[in-house]
Amino acid sequence: MSRLQRLAAACLLALSLPAAASDDWIARSNANAQGILKVLADFSPESASGFGLPGYDENVVDLKPDNGARLRKAMAVAKAELEAKRAAERDPRLAQDLDIMIDAIQRQSDSSAINEKHLLPYVDVGQAIFRGEFALLNDEATAAQRAAAPRRLQRYLGLEAGYTPLTELAKARFEEKLGQPGLLGPVRKEVESALAATPQYIKGLRELYAKHKIKGADKALDTLEKQLADYDAWQRSTVLPRARDDFRLPAELYADNLKNVGLDIPPEQLVQKARLSYAEIRNEMQAIASQIAAQRKLPDSDYRAVMKALKREQIPADQVEATYREVITKVEDILRRERIISLPERPMLMRLASAAETAAQPAPHMDPPPLIGNKGERGTFVLTAGNPGNDGKSDSYDDFSHKGATWTLTAHEGRPGHELQFTAMVERGVSLARSLFAFNSVNVEGWALYAEAETKPYEPLEGQLFALQARLQRAARAILDPMLNLGQITPERAHQVLTDEVGLSKGLATQEINRYTFRAPGQATSYFYGYTRLMELRAKTEITLGSKFDRTKFNDFVVGQGLLPPDLLDKAVTNEFIPQFTK
């Protein structure tokens, strides 16, 4: 999807709606959200349907003329309605939720305008169609969603009356802006990656339709292959000549990216904070590596040498999923035994990604469950195995398929990390404002890193070493992403830091550099910053409460707040959680 469409879908794509709430004020807050929710769903229906909003399973993204201006106009109307409600609201909880939604609308509208001001509207159509179809054809999709997939595909292809092929709409939006001076084209590597991934998307969709025995789609899939071939030819003739080798964004645009992920300090200050942590984490890694080297009688106790030795002990491919399931059970046992957090009632799912999924999203991730009207569907921890290169080949990782890595990746993507965040909202219910509209990467990823830290002390030494490596990687992100985008380091040197010092495989380091430079500039900074803010809040709370501090209750309270950003979470802990123990 284009930057503009990602902005329209950002909230829905990141998290969606909670199930019906029992508290009356939450129901009233959710009613206040319906206007802006409809705007977002109308412009990005794939995201809405993927998270359970009824009525959008067959609909497709709006790439018609003036889509950006129309989006901002619709947002302005919705914002005015919310402002009128805010002026009359006396309930402080409802007032805060209205403030959250008003701020979210304004930020999304501002970002849409900033992106339109600086960038040509480039769309990776193959990825957009694959993701839209996959949302209806994944293993957790309902029968009704799978039945809607062929019609959505027909609409993508313009085979239904009233619809134009998405490829033609994407071409038109790009070409109509070509004469506008000062607009930047996409990064060359982004376009090359999109071209290389096209065969995987087509193959992946054919496999999904065959797997679920959906008949009558062969003609449409053949049409898709032809349309994407034509689109790829157009990309080579029209887009690549306008592509740029300098990935750096205009300062206004990079600053807006940082703001939207939740960073509220200057990037230079973030780099300074991260450098200190980077040095301290390496010292801690060395202490653990020395213990492992002594136990295993390894010839070299340097942390980098120890990690290389441990990574050579790769889990056989046919045992990876079973190994992770075993670790999931062990992590849950830790959470219960140490009373770290209350576990959801639903068991957790984990699977390996297909080649097409890996092309669309190379990093391990969690596919969220539908949070509206959830009927038992569960989120899924998805493990990827490679980073498709521009030649269509895969730079396989060795980073996640050894036993040392299984612990912290499970804690981050599974429990007590992202999967628990999503499942807790399904089971407990949180207002739309505090889940959908308060979302940013800082609070979501901050919790996942905090989850890693909560489980680390109880893991075997190998697990602890790679938990620290993961934390080192996040500190490196907070250093390298800003430095790259501020022109203070080259991609080659950043790649070298990630491989030689952090210890990532070449494939994963390449995926990281792609992330900083064109997949999501600025987003990678959110992990380290969110983690530090949450750890600061934890320390503040412990110091305030002393012996009255209850770890389980604190962690349950934090998750129960939905996805509040750090400042609002601090306020909730200070005004609601701490007073429970100090009265």
The tens place of each residue's pLDDT in the chain, 583 residues long, gives 333 333 334 333 333 333 334 458 989 998 999 998 899 899 999 987 866 778 899 999 999 999 999 999 999 999 999 999 999 999 999 999 999 999 999 999 999 999 999 999 999 999 999 999 999 998 878 899 999 999 999 999 999 999 999 999 999 999 999 999 999 999 999 999 999 999 999 999 999 999 999 999 999 999 999 999 999 999 999 999 999 999 999 999 999 999 999 999 999 999 999 999 999 999 999 999 999 999 999 999 999 999 999 999 998 888 888 899 899 999 999 999 999 999 987 788 888 877 777 777 777 887 776 655 666 667 788 887 655 554 545 567 889 889 999 999 999 999 999 999 888 877 777 788 888 788 889 999 999 999 999 999 999 999 999 999 999 999 999 999 999 999 999 999 999 999 999 999 999 999 999 999 999 999 999 999 999 999 999 999 999 999 999 999 999 999 988 888 899 999 999 999 999 998 7
Phi (first) and psi of residue 244, to 5 degrees: -120, 145
Helices of type H across 297-348: 303-311, 320-337
Strand partners, 396: 386
Name the DSSP class of 392. S
**pTM score > 0.75 for this model?**
yes
In sequence order, the 6+-apart residues with CB closer than 8 A to the CB of 574 are none
Q: How far apart are CA 534 and CA 517, in angstroms?
A: 27
In sequence order, the 6+-apart residues with CB closer than 8 A to the CB of 398 are 311, 314, 505
Question: Rg for the chain (alpha carbons), in Å?
Answer: 23
Q: Tell me, what's the pLDDT at 23? A: 59
Q: End-to-end CA distance of the chain, in Å?
A: 52
Residue pointed to by tokens 């075997």 = 460
For residue range 386-441, what is the model confidence (pLDDT) as tens digits? 555 545 455 678 898 899 999 999 999 999 999 998 888 777 777 888 887 888 89
Q: How far apart are CA 495 and CA 511, in angstroms?
A: 10
Is residue 114 a contact partner of residue 183, using CB atoms and an 8 Å limit? Answer: no
Q: Which of 77, 190, 213 is nearest to 143 (CA)?
A: 213
Name the DSSP class of 52. T
Is residue 379 a contact partner of residue 423, using CB atoms and an 8 Å limit? Answer: yes
Q: Tell me, what's the pLDDT at 47? A: 80
Q: Go through the chain and tell me how many residues it has.
A: 583
Q: What is the largest CA-CA distance in the chain?
A: 71
Question: What number of other Cβ atoms are within 10 A of residue 222's Cβ?
Answer: 12
Cα angle value 424/430/431 (rounded, 5°)? 160
CA 35 remoteness from chain centre:
25
In sequence order, the 6+-apart residues with CB closer than 8 A to the CB of 564 are 434, 438, 443, 572
Task: For residue 439, give the amino acid letter.
Answer: F
Q: DSSP letter string over 247-293?
A: -PPPHHHHHHHHHHHT--S-HHHHHHHHHHHHHHHHHHHHHHHHHHH
**Two tokens, residue 465:** 């070493």
Is residue 529 a contact partner of residue 478, using CB atoms and an 8 Å limit? Answer: yes
Domain range annotation of the chain: 3-248, 261-528, 535-582
Q: DSSP letter string over 480-535?
A: HHHHHHTTSS-HHHHHHIIIIII---HHHHHHHHHIIIIISTTTTHHHHHHHHHHH
In sequence order, the 6+-apart residues with CB closer than 8 A to the CB of 316 are none
Q: Which of 563, 544, 357 is nearest to 448 (CA)?
A: 563
For residue range 265-281, what is the model confidence (pLDDT) as tens digits? 999 999 999 999 999 99
Name the DSSP class of 90. -
Is residue 101 a contact partner of residue 32, using CB atoms and an 8 Å limit? Answer: yes
